[in-house]
Structure 1
Amino acid sequence: MNRSYSQKVIYQIYPKSFCDSNGDGIGDFQGIISKLDYLATLGIDCIWLNACFESPQRDNGYDVSDYYKIDPDFGTMDDFELLCIEAKTRGIDIMLDMVFNHTSTEHEWFQKAINGDKDYQNYYLFLPPNKDGSAPSNWHSKFGGSAWEFVPDLNLYYLHLFDVTQADLNWNQTSVRQEMANIVNFWQQKGVNGFRFDVINLISKPETFENDDIGDGRRFYTDGPKVSEYLRELNLNSFGKNPNALTVGEMSSTTLEKCVQYANSSQDQLSMVFNFHHLKVDYANNNKWILADLDFKLLKSILFEWQLGMQHANAWMALFWCNHDQPRVVSRFGNDKEYRKQSAKMLATTLHLMRGTPYIYQGEEIGMGNAYFDDISYYRDVESLNYFDILKQQGRSESDILAVLGARSRDNARTPIVWDNSLFSGFSTQQPWIDIPNEAKFINVEANLQDKDSIFYHYQTLIKLRKTYPVIAEGAIKPLMFEHDSIFAYQRDWTQGQKTQTLIVLNNFFSTEITVDLNELLTQLIDFSSWKIITNNYPDLSVNDQSNTLLLQPYQSVALLKTTD
């Protein structure tokens, strides 16, 4: 296999919440520059910056008003160029977030469109009303309400799959696709080698907009017929010319079949893809706003289905638990009360030793948890604020809604990084744009760096292991103990010439002790002395040689390696 990114680990920065250098309560590029040595110590290879282009910030930057300008909240173009240079000196690449499905309604293109410019109206999806004046279809916005907004002066509706201020682009227009390629090329000239494409599988809309009588419309606009064609064209005209380019597509409500198509190494579309199916296993009836316990069997089933399916097709995955749109994993699938350190390490091991490229979301490496805000006034996320009102209209109590937001809100991931236990946690000298979680006094970077058994150093070890052992970066994967109620286990295998490496990874996902029968796990493990423990989130591993069993403590995670020459 020749994947230049198989050994890499990507670190996601939400610039607004990473580090504030000028005391305005908002993170910025100079703040990121000041923390590059910290990231180099962690060992990451690339920084993915969330949307940082000029924006009215209705959706925290995912409503772009100018793709060629840096939002002044984060600094200047000079600051950005310095960030690229300083990162490069530390062996770190920069990845930008390209929001190409839609623009802000404040974008010059949209403003020209609503002022009557027919050419720019074709940049978007403007449609006339139905005969009764209603919207072209009954589709719902992902942020709630109709996906169509009426413009009286034009007697037309425009499509917005997200916020009403985020108008969907019309990728059927050659001029729109060329604009996108021009934007990518502009940032490559600035030294950017990585591109993450926001909800990129939504760009190919259907020719007709029919009503959805059984859903919200996504089955008609997701993974449209020309997504691959558009990606190949973008590749040909922009990042495909850069041998060092790394691209990842965020896939909304997608399928394995489609992601195999987008991320197959022979298709010239994307380096890798994100999918979110494994992050819906605690949704009741597939509804984000109804809480349920983790369905562990379903989590295993989904992760292994994707691991094996992508492997079979020689396609590549982005591995992640957390990002700016997801709650913190240690609060979600771990235990942020009694076993924060152990469960955070276990979740990290589970992910980082699988097949694919791991992504670390800022603060994940120190065990940051959900904010658990207890009043709606603390929230800033447009989706959370919208659904607070929607759920109230549905008759749910405020206490119930706040409990749901405490578990589900995107703001759980967007609170500032806690660098130390000072007044504003070392993030800023002023009150931040969003409040800092109460846990900051004891869960912070400074405390992690001082504790040699911290979550930070466990992540550092996992990153080193990926660069040390080919079996982690390149090996095949197969599930182990698939039917077990508590253990997530798998095997990785790698061969080159006469040399082989076999890796066994055992993860206890729960707070009870589990005894593992090694004879049932794998016959080769009978001679336990021939295996090397390369990571363990507990000081020791309890092995009974007579019964050939081992005991996994609550949330214990261990990886065993066997090498032959």
Structure 2
Amino acid sequence: MKNTNTLHPWWESAAAYQIYPRSFMDSNGDGVGDLQGIISRLPYLSELGFDLIWICPIYPSPNDDNGYDISDYQNIQKEYGTMEDFEELLHKAHERGIRVIMDLVVNHTSSSHPWFIESRSSKDNPKRDWYIWKDGKDNVEPNNWESIFGGSTWEYDEKSGQYFLHVFGKTMPDINWENTQVKKAIFDMICWWLDKGIDGFRVDAISHIKKPDFNDMPNPKNERYVSSFDKHMNQSGILDLLNELKENAFSKYDIFTVAEANGVRIEEIEEWVSSEKGIFNSLFQFDHLNLWNVGSEEGKISIKKLKNALTKWQKAAPMDGNVALVMENHDLVRSISRFGSEDKYWKESAKCLALMYYMQKGVPFIYQGQEIGMLNADYESHLDFRDDPTLFAYQDRINNGMSPAESLQVLKKSSRDNSRTPMQWDASPHAGFTTGTPWMKVNQNYHWLNAEVQKEDEDSILNFYKKLIKIKKETTGLIYGDYKLLMEESESIYAYTREYEEKNYLVVCNLSEELSELQIDLDITKGEILISNYEDRNSKEMLLKPYECRLYSL
């Protein structure tokens, strides 16, 4: 699809939707979502106003990490369909004005990938150096690095007597980005997909591709493995590799790229995402989402810390740069379950969180099910969960003295599976996701919490998101306007303005279950409320109800 706006890139005003294909829509009754299922729901996405979809990995994979362990970069996983199905999806999405970006996973492959099978076959194989192999040290691993998924980053290969590096799972060996041949193979593969007509990539774990040395990490606790990732996250020299990626692939096409870039610092944002120097068009930052691990004893997050985490990136983003806006994805728990109210103010808190993040500067992403207020999994047994890393952590806690019941409670609150339960389409069996047995249990609340019910309810969360999408697309100031935080010290109200060419907009959100007073210097008496989540509210009212939110045009 060509860009018809010559003043601004097409993606700056895009409304993006993330699809986790395994759980989105099953068309053939095998219990697993697929490409034809996505095609069948394109009208739904189009009606809501989305013009960009990001599809999580659909490549062939052993599924040790739900598709992020790729065994063939240029094909489609059989359970999802065929390449013809994908080409049909791409064509029909473009017909509706919906652009399609895919996941690009090039920090590692699956150990089942032909490249690694060759690399592993012998020390003198031409592809040996396509991955990172090292001798052991004193009969143990080459260093004390801990994998992001737990345990050592090194796996011993008996045939060759060496270890290979895996920053993530042990079946996901890291690619050696210092090897010219493997880089060329990666660049060629990327261009092959872009020549098919896809519209860009969400680039997975890209800040881990540079490993300048393999020395031990400092270990003050005298533990065997050190869980700091400083040696393989955003290391010196990574920009040289990324500029090669840009020059040999991205810069040749009119596409949108958004990087998952853990470890990137605010002062580096211009080098990562500005139009002049940047490698990518946008990036996901997780400072506000990492707060989920430092809440109070009651499990509540400091609203002040949340505001500060988001605000510092809003201020740091250069005028021509962009930070992706996100509250949920396939690796996180549901935002209402963590930040909002699952029961008493379910609808109000869902809408309040939506307005709070959606009207900031950046490309907003909505994760499947977020638009209807889906909640964490309601499982009562660890056997219902499917995510290996969080199940590993569940057992590890028990091995270290925690009771199974306590460890289950941690699992229920933290597992990535909370966002991977099947999409709740209607009140039919299995929420309309499949006519068969779903690969993962559906939340039992689907009888009342589903898209079909909300489509008919003008006051629903779904229709609130539809209005948000429309308002932002039609309001230049909410796309390009400057951001300014108000009431910085408040632990209940998140308020900010967007200012653009004498147009002013005000967002106020009470992120608490208590009445909270709006204390700002702006005159709202003549302001127009463009959207709110409580009916018949006086625009002059300074007292906000629990989880009340408003968007003003001043």
SS of corresponding position for 1:30: helix
Whether 2:373 is the aligned partner of 1:367: answer: yes
Q: How far apart, in 1, do the equivalents of 2:484 and 2:9 lie?
A: 20
5+ residue gaps, structure 1: none
SS of corresponding position for 2:106: coil
Instruction: Label 1:435 to 1:552 Cα distance change in 2 as closer, same or farther (>3 A).
Output: same
Letter in 1 for 2:545: Q
Q: In the TM superposition, what is the alpha-carbon distance from 1:200 to its structure 2 partner?
A: 0.5
Instruction: Label 1:268 to 1:282 Cα distance change in 2 as closer, same or farther (>3 A).
Output: closer
SS of corresponding position for 1:119: coil
Letter in 2 for 1:228: L
After TM superposition, list the pairs within 5 Å mapping 1:549-560 onto structure 2. 550-560=542-552
Q: Deviations over 1:348-394 (max 9, x none)?
A: 10111001110000000000010031101101111111111111111
Q: How far apart, in 2, do the equivalents of 1:277 and 1:5 lie?
A: 23
Q: How far apart, in 2, do the equivalents of 1:90 and 1:161 lie?
A: 39
Q: How far apart, in 2, do the equivalents of 1:384 and 1:206 lie?
A: 29
Letter in 2 for 1:101: N
After TM superposition, list the pairs within 5 Å mapping 1:525-564 onto structure 2. 525=523, 528-529=525-526, 531-542=527-538, 550-562=542-554
SS of corresponding position for 1:266: coil
After TM superposition, the structure 1 stretch with the greater mean CA deviation from structure 2, 332-341 or 313-322, is: 313-322
Q: How far apart, in 2, do the equivalents of 1:479 and 1:240 lie?
A: 35
Q: In the TM superposition, what is the alpha-carbon distance from 1:543 to its structure 2 partner?
A: 5.2
After TM superposition, list the pairs within 5 Å mapping 1:305-316 onto structure 2. 305-311=312-318, 314-316=320-322
Residue 405 of structure 1 is matched in structure 2 by 411
Q: How far apart, in 1, do the equivalents of 2:12 and 2:125 lie?
A: 46
After TM superposition, list the pairs within 5 Å mapping 1:144-293 onto structure 2. 144-214=150-220, 215-243=226-254, 245-284=255-294, 292-293=299-300
Aligned length: 542
Q: How far apart, in 1, do the equivalents of 2:50 and 2:321 lie?
A: 23
Whether 2:361 is the aligned partner of 1:358: answer: no
Q: How far apart, in 2, do the equivalents of 1:398 and 1:540 lie?
A: 49
Residue 118 of structure 1 is matched in structure 2 by 125
Residue 16 of structure 1 is matched in structure 2 by 22
SS of corresponding position for 2:348: helix
| TM-score after normalising by structure 1 | 0.93
Q: In the TM superposition, what is the alpha-carbon distance from 1:180 to its structure 2 partner?
A: 1.5
Q: How far apart, in 2, do the equivalents of 1:382 and 1:227 lie?
A: 30
C-alpha contact 1:542 1:550 (8 A) present in aligned 2 = no
Letter in 1 for 2:22: K
Q: How far apart, in 1, do the equivalents of 2:19 and 2:253 lie?
A: 23
After TM superposition, list the pairs within 5 Å mapping 1:103-142 onto structure 2. 103-116=109-122, 117-130=124-137, 132-142=138-148
Q: Deviations over 1:449-501 (max 9, x none)?
A: 01111111111111111111111111110101111110011111001xxxx21
C-alpha contact 1:54 1:65 (8 A) present in aligned 2 = yes
Residue 510 of structure 1 is matched in structure 2 by 512
Whether 2:497 is the aligned partner of 1:491: answer: yes
Q: How far apart, in 1, do the equivalents of 2:317 and 2:277 lie?
A: 14
Residue 310 of structure 2 is matched in structure 1 by 303
Q: In the TM superposition, what is the alpha-carbon distance from 1:285 to its structure 2 partner?
A: 8.8
C-alpha contact 1:372 1:407 (8 A) present in aligned 2 = no
Residue 338 of structure 1 is matched in structure 2 by 344
Letter in 1 for 2:516: I
Letter in 2 for 1:94: V
Q: In the TM superposition, what is the alpha-carbon distance from 1:53 to its structure 2 partner?
A: 0.6
Q: In the TM superposition, what is the alpha-carbon distance from 1:167 to its structure 2 partner?
A: 0.3
After TM superposition, list the pairs within 5 Å mapping 1:322-471 onto structure 2. 322-471=328-477
SS of corresponding position for 2:126: helix
| TM-score after normalising by structure 2 | 0.95
SS of corresponding position for 1:139: coil
Question: 1 or 2, which has the higher strand percentage?
Answer: 1
Letter in 1 for 2:265: T
Q: How far apart, in 2, do the equivalents of 1:291 and 1:57 lie?
A: 36
Letter in 2 for 1:505: V
Q: In the TM superposition, what is the alpha-carbon distance from 1:291 to its structure 2 partner?
A: 8.3
Q: How far apart, in 1, do the equivalents of 2:34 and 2:46 lie?
A: 18
SS of corresponding position for 2:230: helix
Letter in 1 for 2:131: Y
C-alpha contact 2:300 2:338 (8 A) present in aligned 1 = no
Q: In the TM superposition, what is the alpha-carbon distance from 1:111 to its structure 2 partner?
A: 0.6
Q: In the TM superposition, what is the alpha-carbon distance from 1:147 to its structure 2 partner?
A: 0.8
5+ residue gaps, structure 2: 1-6, 221-225
Q: Deviations over 1:6-27 (max 9, x none)?
A: 2111100000000000110000
SS of corresponding position for 2:68: coil
Identity %: 37
Residue 61 of structure 2 is matched in structure 1 by 55
C-alpha contact 1:419 1:426 (8 A) present in aligned 2 = yes
Instruction: Label 1:291 to 1:237 Cα distance change in 2 as closer, same or farther (>3 A).
Output: farther
Q: In the TM superposition, what is the alpha-carbon distance from 1:66 to its structure 2 partner?
A: 0.4
SS of corresponding position for 1:502: strand
Letter in 2 for 1:463: I
Q: How far apart, in 1, do the equivalents of 2:64 and 2:93 lie?
A: 29
C-alpha contact 1:284 1:291 (8 A) present in aligned 2 = no
Q: Deviations over 1:382-412 (max 9, x none)?
A: 1111111111111111111111111110000
